[in-house]
Amino acid sequence: MERALNFVVVSPHHPENFQLFASALRANGATVLGISDEPYENLSLRTREALTEYYRVDNMEDYQQMYQAVAYFAHRYGKIDRIESHNEYWMETDARLRTDFNVAGLKAKDMDRIKQKSKMKEIFRSIGVPVAEGRVFDDWDDAKQIVDELGYPVIVKPNIGVGASDTWRITSDEELSAFFVERNTATTFIMEEFIDGDIVTFDGLTDHEGRIVFYQQMLYDKPALDIISQNIDSFVHYPSEIPEDIIELGRQCVAAFDVKERFFHFEFFRLKTDKSLVALEINCRPPGGPMVEMFNFGNSIDIYDQYAQVILHQKFTADLSQRKNCGYVSRKRYNNYLYTQDDIYAWYGEFIVSSVITEGVFGDVGYFIVTDKVEDMTRVVRFIQELA
């Protein structure tokens, strides 16, 4: 009798929607083994039911404790087949554990090329993909040399970082001086030319051989840097129609980064001048926050179950022929909106498939919208975010 696949889930309870990965793996026959520092009794019923066994550590930042947890599972259940959190924060821990226990997937040696923006640029350039010009810098003189080459404005951000966190748009020597006063000195920063374009993404999932079995394109209504710095409403959209150029470029990038049996989230600029694409970065994980749910709503699928099938049965079985426009619209509690939630559902409830209470860049309240026509999506978004 063939044994069940042993899948170690790091931090199986967080974020909340990622609990469904553990549930789907268990439902498809995996032995699901959880590690976290959360007391077992604090885990949701869904998570407890999904886990074959749970190992609580005192501190997930202590690698030795994480190692001991996996060693215990290996002793009890046999060879560990997969280790995954799907979480950017634990990606290096995941990789180190895979390395030490000889588990398939990204290893410690792979982290630089998928974590450091400077290394990402090298891979993009190696396949002829344009990138934002710039590099890592050390001090004022080094930074000023880059400014002299690129000109203001420039973008400064951590060489290893997620999203727009700790990102600076610098337009003058005075602002550059302020950056050096206020920056986190423990962080290595990279400086890039400012690119006038819209951020678009190529998101999806690959199988064990690196073949793309699912993909989507995400569009932002405004830059993430503006959403964070100005604390404003946002809207992101997975369109039903995806341009061929981003599909082709996305395929090249997936191959170049050797993304296998993983979710991916590539970010590009689409230039406002000639509409060409410039590579920004790769994230070897699902898109953040509620965006994974948009995979499901926009395609009428269960991406958690499909991921489990890719891992356990090496197949993706969902019918992707019913793709529709799917949007996520946020609102801030402090804003005075013209229409109430009751108004929203009264006027456009037919298009709203779900809502969520959230925080941070994704707003305080978010609505998932599905439409056949882009015009309907635009009309609903304007209604929801219209201020009094």
| Residue 349: closest CA among 365, 376, 329, 369 | 369
A 10 A CB-CB count for 18 gives 19
pLDDT of res. 240: 96
Lowest mean pLDDT of 72-81, 320-329, 361-370, name the range.
361-370
Instruction: Return the percentage of the chain with pLDDT > 90, whole number.
Output: 88
Q: How high is the pLDDT of residue 223?
A: 67
Find, among 96, 98, 87, the residue nearest to 62 by Cα: 96
Q: Measure CA 180 to chain center.
A: 29
Identify the pLDDT of residue 163. 63
Write down the domain spans for the chain.
6-107, 133-193, 197-385
Question: What are the structure tokens assigned to 57, written together?
Answer: 């550590």
- Per-residue pLDDT reduced to its tens digit, 29-77: 999 999 999 999 999 999 999 999 999 999 999 999 999 999 999 999 9
Reply yes or no on whether the pLDDT at 335 is more than 80: yes
Q: What is the pLDDT of residue 108?
A: 98
Domain 133-193 has CATH 3.40.50.12780: no
Q: pLDDT digit string (tens) for 243-255?
A: 999 999 999 999 9
- Roughly what angle, to the nearest 10 degrees, separates helices 374-385 and 341-348? 160
Please name the helix (run of DSSP H) or strand (run of DSSP E) that holds residue 90, with its range, or none: none
User: What local confidence, expressed as pLDDT, does residue 302 receive?
Assistant: 98
pLDDT recorded at residue 370: 98
133-193 and 197-385 agree in CATH topology = no
CA 243, 244, 248, 254: dihedral to nearest 10 degrees? 40
* Res 319: pLDDT: 96
Task: Name the phi and psi angles at 7, rounded to 5.
Answer: -115, 115
Which pLDDT does position 3 carry in this prediction? 84
Say yes or no to pLDDT of 289 above 90.
no
233 pLDDT above the threshold of 90 = no
> Hey, what are 133's tokens?
């010009």
User: Would the pLDDT of 334 be above 80?
Assistant: yes
**Tens digit of each residue's pLDDT (9 = 90 or more) over 154-199:** 999 999 977 667 889 999 999 999 999 999 999 999 999 999 999 9
> Across residues 124-143, what is the average pLDDT?
95
CATH number of 6-107: 3.40.50.20
* Mean pLDDT, rounded, for 207-227: 87
pLDDT band for position 81 (cuts 50, 70, 90): very high
- One-letter amino acid at 45 equals L
Average predicted confidence (pLDDT) for the chain: 94
Beta bridge partners of 56: 36
Question: Is the torsion defined by CA of 378, 287, 268, 251 positive or negative?
Answer: negative
Q: Burial of 386 by CB count in 10 Å (0-12 exposed, 13-18 middle, 19+ buried)?
A: exposed
* Percent of the chain scoring above 70 in pLDDT: 96
- Whether the full predicted model's pTM is greater than 0.85, yes or no, is yes
pLDDT at 164 (0 to 100): 64
Long-range contacts of 107-115 (CB under 8 A, 24+ apart): 113/257, 114/257, 114/282, 114/283, 114/284, 115/91, 115/160
For the domain made up of 197-385, the CATH class stated in words is: alpha beta
* Residue that the structure tokens 């959209």 belong to: 237
**Cα first-last separation, the chain:** 66
- Contact call for residues 185 and 168 (beta carbons, < 8 A): no
The number of helix segments (H) and strand segments (E) in the chain equals 14, 16
Write down the pLDDT at residue 225. Answer: 63
Residue found under tokens 């930074």: 143
Burial class (CB in 10 A: 0-12, 13-18, 19+), 39: exposed
Counting every residue, how long is the chain? 388
Residue 309 in 3-state DSSP?
Answer: helix
